[in-house]
Amino acid sequence: MHIIKKIFAFPRIIYFLIPIIIISLVFTNFPSNGVEISSIKFIGEATLPKGLIFQKTEVGGLSGITYNAKNNLYYAISDDRGQKAAVRFYTLKIDLSKGSLQKGGIIPVSVTTLLNENGQTFRPGETDTEGIALTNKRTVFISSEGDAAKLINPFIKEFSLSSGKEIFTLPIPNKFLPDKTNQQGIRNNLAFESLTITPDNKHLFTASENALIQDGVAAKPNIGSPCRILQYNLLNNQPEKEFLYQTEPVTPFLNLIGKFASGLPDLLALDNQGHFLSLERSFTGLGFAISLFQVSLEGADDIHNINSLLAIDSKNIKPVKKKLLLDLRKLDVLLDNIEGLTLGPKLLDGQQSLILISDNNFNSLQRTQILAFKIKIENSLIRLLRRFLSNFNL
């Protein structure tokens, strides 16, 4: 009997290996081999001093952040419209060397002033810079919401990382541009806050923070808003696709002051197959509601040929898929106005770090807040193999 068991031991290993080999071969060439975040853990908070003056500028309004893995530095864009200092971004060090973020773990390194195509600073009020994304050629793309009330168009421009000078401007589809009739385009201060580039540097994504005027209502208490994700092909620098992203309805809590705002301030590309993290932020009258979602473009309809969602039966449009990853109100942290996110370095245990940053609106009652997380990212093959192994008994 013992000999028989030995005889059948080898084939049993073969039966175990064959499915793994087949799955590996299939998924290696499978186009939708995307990623998913299987866990997230909060690993610390740090804030910058209120009213911090650095290199003759007030540090604040940090609305977007991106990470340079080569030198372990972060670039954070300020949404100062040139009223406190010239339009600029900051280079920061964020210390995660101990596997967590400690108080005092944020160090400003430098300030880079943005210059237009003529090498001059932007005029006060000309920009509302909100998003920033690093390329693989020592440049950054930066998005501006413009000013719809003054018919100042939003923009997405590429700047030199070293000099801050404008290099190139991406064309904006006409449907996003405000007009004199106030019948189309972005809403004021609800435009291109988000900006992200895929790891292969072939595509750039941004999104309207709320619905375009011709697409639906802006977010209200208990009512979400239909945003548009805009995809650019960076091989030809042209917009090519758009997708519907529906923000979640948020219920205000003790809203005694009557103010409410909610929307989509940032996106983060996780892979080249249309998988993202999205950040939804709401001011509810009593603090902020911040949520992280996993997002997939898989199966979503391309709506770039639809100029107005209100002019059609939009119920037939398939939006992007969303899955709640974390409601930050469940953390034991007083949340500020979180508007930006980026992946950071790998931590000591090999897992991926995630950084969130707040815009303090240059308000003495608010803070520039950095939140750090540890996330576990798995691709489709790893998830399938893990499930297979969990059900297999040798």
Alpha-carbon gap, residue 196 to 269, rounded angstroms: 6
The 10s digit of each residue's pLDDT in 206-227 is 999 999 999 999 999 999 999 9
The DSSP letter of residue 272 is S
The 10s digit of each residue's pLDDT in 30-80 is 445 689 999 999 999 999 999 999 999 999 999 999 999 999 999 999 999
Residue with tokens 């290099």: 167
Residue 11's pLDDT is 54
Sheet hosting strand 203-207, strand order edge to edge: 196-197, 203-207, 226-233, 238-246
Q: Exposed e or buried b for every residue in 210-248, given b needs 16+ CB within 10 A?
A: bbbbebbebbeeeebbbbbbbbbebeeeebebbbbbbbb
Q: What φ, ψ does residue 14 adopt, rounded to 5°?
A: -60, -45
CA geometry: angle 291, 294, 297, nearest 5 deg = 130
Residue 5's pLDDT is 43
Alpha-carbon gap, residue 139 to 80, rounded angstroms: 21
What is the average pLDDT across 346-373? 96
Please give, one letter per residue, the 3-state secondary structure of 73-112: EEEEEECCCCCCCCCEEEEEEECCCCCCECCCCEEEEEEE
Residue 146 has pLDDT above 60, yes or no: yes
In 3D, which of 250, 297, 253 has the Cα closest to residue 278? 297
Tokens coding 298: 């898989």
Residue 258's pLDDT is 66
Alpha-carbon gap, residue 265 to 278, rounded angstroms: 8
Residue type, 58: E
Share of the chain above pLDDT 70, in %: 87
The 10s digit of each residue's pLDDT in 104-144 is 999 999 999 999 999 999 999 999 999 999 999 999 999 99
CA geometry: angle 126, 131, 134, nearest 5 deg = 120
Alpha-carbon gap, residue 195 to 169, rounded angstroms: 14
